[in-house]
Every structure is written in structure tokens, then in C-alpha cells.
Structure 1
Amino acid sequence: MSLPDYRSRVLSAKRFLSLGVVGLSLIAAGCQVRPLYSEAAPAIGSGGASGSVRSKLSTVAINQPGDRVTQEVRNHLIFLFAGGAGQPASPAYNLQMVVYARDLSLALVQNAINDKSGQPTAGSIRMTGNYVLTRVSDGQVVGRGTRIVTADYDAPRQRFAVVRAQRDANNRAARELAEALNLSVAQDLAKF
């Protein structure tokens, strides 16, 4: 290979690389990345910005619960949606939610005196939340989904301590499920 051939190959490789960089920058220029809870950019020709996801979340009403676990999830969601302001007076969206909690025994660890009582010493609460988000004005389904969370707990030998550990695990799972549902509903509302 002579020196002129080497230079022409290097120059053609540099040209190819520079064309690739320019092409990728043109592709990347069409992408838009912004935070989920940010204010929406104003549309061309409109008087201002459309409503943000946070303001849309504050107009979501949640159905009445049927049990304590669903009430816990609902309370956390109301706080997350409205920032502590409560349910909206005139909702634009309605959230129908069903929550199931299941207690799972995970492990049986025998103590040092070889206790063979057969009682589990660890457990887990699996909480499933199904939701359907509809627009009040026309009844259109805006979003639907299912979220599952788990919360682990230790089960000591005292009966009251086990009941309290299960209740605390239910409360933790309800809080985590509410946060997961909050994110899912916000993503559904960001599309509209």
C-alpha cells in the first residue's frame, strides 16, 4: 500500500464518520424528552400551555372503597393526586379501583431448641391493584392496568406481634401500590 492510498482511505473514513455524526444528530433532533410532571410546552398558535399532568391528576375522583386495604390505597392516592387538597369538587376523570391483598407464608425456620410447631416465621403480603380510568365528559376509557407490589414481614412467636407485623406490611404495600398507581395514571393522562 502506497502513501496516497493510505491517505485516501483515512479521508474517506473521516468523511463517513462525519456523515454518520451529522445523520445521528438530525435523528436526535426530532426526539423530545421532558419530565412527566413538567408543564406541557405551548402548542403553536395556542394562547398558552395546555394543562400539565399534575393539574390533570388533581381532577381525578376515586371510587369508594369496600375494605380497609382499599381505603389505605385510596387515601394515599388522593394525597398523591391533589397534594393533600382532597377529592375534586367537579372531577374530570373517574378512577375505578379494585385492590386484592394475599398473605403468603414464605419460610419456616426452626429455633435452637428444635421447635416443630410448624408455624411460619416469615411472610409476604402481595397486593394487586386493578384500575380503569375514564373521562367523565364522554365516558371514554383513558387508561387501565394492573400493578402488583409485595411487602415482607417477620412473624415472631407472639400472636399479637404477628397480627401487627401483617398490618404494617399491608400498610407498606398499600403505600407502594398507591405510588405505582399514581405513576401509571399520570402516564395515562400524559397521553391525552
Structure 2
Amino acid sequence: MTGSVNDNIRSKLASISINQPGDRVTQEVRNNLIFLFGGGAGEPTSPVYSLQLGISSRDLSLLLVQNATNDKSGQPTAGSMRMTGNYTLTRLSDGKVVGNGTRIVTADYDAPRQRYAVLRAQRDANIRAAREVAEAINLSIAQDLSKL
């Protein structure tokens, strides 16, 4: 019986279309969700549900850690990227909202003194956060669909 429930939820997840992104961060989350929903099969040709995403990310204040081995220059050495994902899942046949929620994740990163290394570390943290938000939204939507 557990296998049939999982198969049922898996097929419902595979029938979700996701709104088009307006920025790179939302695109990252959307791409991850498409893969998670369809198992790599891409977007559904005949969707049953529509998912509206609202994604925002924010670079939190950097942390200054000084120890005997650093140069005590006062340069930040670590940071955090916070990503918030809001979602609304709607059944297309009747327009009923069948699930909604907010998921927040934080991805930490090292901030070396080189400017471009910091930019790359921030972008990598953003990509990690997008993957984690997508996984959290995927789980939440699976729970929403299991109640139908």
C-alpha cells in the first residue's frame, strides 16, 4: 500500500506546471523543482496543477572572525545567504488552492579577501540555497498532495 501512495503522489508531482521565473534565483529554484517533480523527465505536457513561486534572497551581514593566524585587517571572513520561497499550488480544473506555504533556508559561505572570490562564494551559496529551498518546497507540496 505504501508503494501505491508514493506512486500516486509521484504522479501528482509530475503533473505540476511551474510559473515562469522573473530572475536568476527563481530560475534556479524552478529548475530544481522541475527535476524533483518529474524525476528528470522535464515539464508535464498536460498539467493538472499550477505552482506559483515567489523567491527572494538576501545576503546577511558578514561575520568577522579574528584569530592568531589572520592579519586582523578587519575584513569579513564569513557570510550567510538567506533565501525565502513562497508557493501557491492551484488545481487547474477548478482553480482551488490546494497548498501554500513559505520555506526559508540559510547557506553559509567563507568570504576570503579577494573580491571576486567573495562574489563566487556568494553565488555558490545562492545556488545551494536554491537547491535546498526547492527540496523543502517539494516535500511540502508532496505533503499537501497526500491530503487530497
| Unaligned 5+ runs, structure 1 | 1-33, 42-50
Question: CA separation in 1, counterparts of 2:143 and 2:108?
Answer: 28
Question: CA separation in 2, counterparts of 1:53 and 1:112?
Answer: 52
Deviation, 1:134, is: 0.3
Question: CA separation in 1, counterparts of 2:44 and 2:130?
Answer: 22
Secondary structure at the aligned position of 2:43 is classed as coil
Q: How does 1:19-98 map to 2 (within 5 A)?
A: 38-40=3-5, 52-98=8-54
Q: How does 1:175-190 map to 2 (within 5 A)?
A: 175-190=131-146
CA RMSD of aligned residues (A): 1.7
Residue type at the aligned position of 1:114: K
| TM-score (norm: length of structure 1) | 0.72
Contact 1:132 1:145 (C-alpha < 8 Å) held by counterparts: yes
Question: CA separation in 2, counterparts of 1:65 and 1:154?
Answer: 28
Any runs of at least 4 consecutive aligned residues in structure 1 with deviations exceeding 4 A, and if so which?
none
* Structure 2 counterpart of 1:114: 72
Aligned identity (percent) is 70
Secondary structure at the aligned position of 1:52 is classed as helix
Question: CA separation in 1, counterparts of 2:70 and 2:9?
Answer: 55
- 1:128 matched to 2:65: no
Question: CA separation in 1, counterparts of 2:8 and 2:70?
Answer: 59
* Structure 2 counterpart of 1:151: 107
Residue type at the aligned position of 1:71: Q
Specify the structure having the higher radius of gyration (Cα). 1
Secondary structure at the aligned position of 2:123 is classed as helix
Question: CA separation in 1, counterparts of 2:104 and 2:70?
Answer: 36
Aligned residue pairs total 146
Deviation, 1:142, is: 0.2
The alpha-carbon distance between structure 1 residues 92 and 120, as it changes in their structure 2 partners (threshold 3 A), is same
Question: CA separation in 2, counterparts of 1:180 and 1:89?
Answer: 24
Question: CA separation in 2, counterparts of 1:85 and 1:113?
Answer: 51
